[in-house]
Amino acid sequence: MRPTPPAEVLLELHEHVAVVTLNRPEKLNSVTSAMGDALVEIAHWANETDQVRAIVLTGAGERSFCAGSDIRQLDGYETPWQFRNREDYCDALRLVRKPIVAAVNGFAFGGGLETALTCDIRIAAETASFAAPEIKLGWIGGGGMSALLAASVGAGNAALMLMTGDPVDARRALEWGLVSEVLPAAELRARALELAITIASRPPIAAETAKATLRAAHNMPQAQAMAYEREMQAIAFATDDALEGRRAFAEKRAGTFLGT
């Protein structure tokens, strides 16, 4: 069943694309516990429903994509162990099998940067900026910040961000490979939706296996990752969609892909 999130998280469907908007602009879209729970629920639903083939994740307003967790709520955990064992929304998003496009419309700080890094494709407004500011408050990120940032921008650039906590602007993020495109803010959402609709038009099993093989490439030795890719290719090749793709190519028409 499609989730009904609180007002601080908007969920829309456009042509097999779920558009998820963090909707707390007056607080820079910082994530409360209720918002985190909603993101976890949406992530589980997106994995299970055939209605969704791709996701766009963005923030409301012009200032912020997401400023991370609402720091004022962090003191609500009675022990560090309870904090450590919470169900983290970044973990849930990372388990989504379908492609996710992040449209970074402003600050992506702390957990907001981790959220963006969890997505498969990141595009940014010219006004966007990225930071891992936790060190300024006495701790570090815990939602995959170090590993994902190093994989994205390299160990040296990651160290610069993690050890200073200072922000990086959109142009520098593009140079470093943290984002794939930088656009005027007014064009960002439309471009993100365009990308996601394009991905959603592809055979969904192939799109999911492409995501799985990319993750394998980051997490396995090269020989293992290449072997895994070959097996996933064989699985995808055996689908009805692959047969339809070959027929459509031969008949010079667009394919109709059902995810089977």
DSSP 143-197: SSHHHHHHHHH-HHHHHHHHHH---EEHHHHHHHTS-SEEE-HHHHHHHHHHHHH
Region 8-22 average pLDDT: 97
From the candidates 8, 48, 114, 244, give the one annotated as an active-site residue: 114
Distances (CA, A) of 243 to 75, 234, 249: 55, 13, 10
- Given this model, what pLDDT does residue 77 score? 60
- Cα-to-chain-centroid distance, residue 157: 21
Span 9-33, average pLDDT: 96
Split at pLDDT 50, 70, 90, the class of 198 is very high
168-169 and 100-104 as β-strands: parallel, antiparallel, unpaired? unpaired
Kindly state the percentage of the chain with pLDDT values over 70: 93
Residue 198 Cα distances to 101, 193, 202, angstroms: 11, 8, 7
| pTM, to two decimals | 0.93
- In this prediction, residue 71 carries a pLDDT of 63
Q: Which amino acid, residue 32?
A: T
d(CA 70, CA 72): 5
Q: Is the pLDDT of residue 119 over 90?
A: yes
Looking up tokens 């558009």, which residue turns up? 19
| Cβ 145 vs Cβ 161: under 8 Å | no
Residue 17's pLDDT band (cuts 50, 70, 90): very high
Assess whether pLDDT exceeds 60 at residue 173: yes
Output the six-digit token pair for 184.
């005027």
Token pair belonging to 2: 């499609």
| Residue 141, pLDDT score | 85
List Cβ neighbours of 200 (8 Å cut-off, separation of 6 or more).
15, 16, 17, 53, 54, 207
As a whole number of angstroms, the distance between CA 160 and CA 136 comes to 13
> Does residue 144 carry a pLDDT above 90?
no
- Dihedral of CA atoms 189, 146, 155, 176 in degrees, nearest 10, equals 10
pLDDT averaged over every residue in the chain: 93
Region 74-85: mean pLDDT is: 63
Give 46-73 pLDDT, tens digit per residue: 999 999 999 999 999 999 999 988 666 6
Residue 86's pLDDT band (cuts 50, 70, 90): low
pLDDT category at 80 given cuts 50, 70, 90 is: low
Q: Spot the catalytic one: 134, 181, 194, 251.
A: 134
Instruction: Give dist(CA 87, CA 75) in Å, integer.
Output: 16
**Residue where the block lists tokens 């498969």:** 120
Q: Which element (helix H / strand E) includes 158? A: helix 155-164
Residue that has been written with the tokens 């590993």 in this structure: 147
Tell me what percent of the residues of the chain surpass a pLDDT of 90.
Answer: 86
Whether the predicted pLDDT of 148 surpasses 80: yes
Q: Over 60: is that where the pLDDT of 85 sits?
A: no
Residue 101 tokens, joined: 């496009």
Q: Band the pLDDT of 140: cuts 50, 70, 90.
A: confident
Average pLDDT over residues 176-198: 98
231 is a catalytic site residue: no
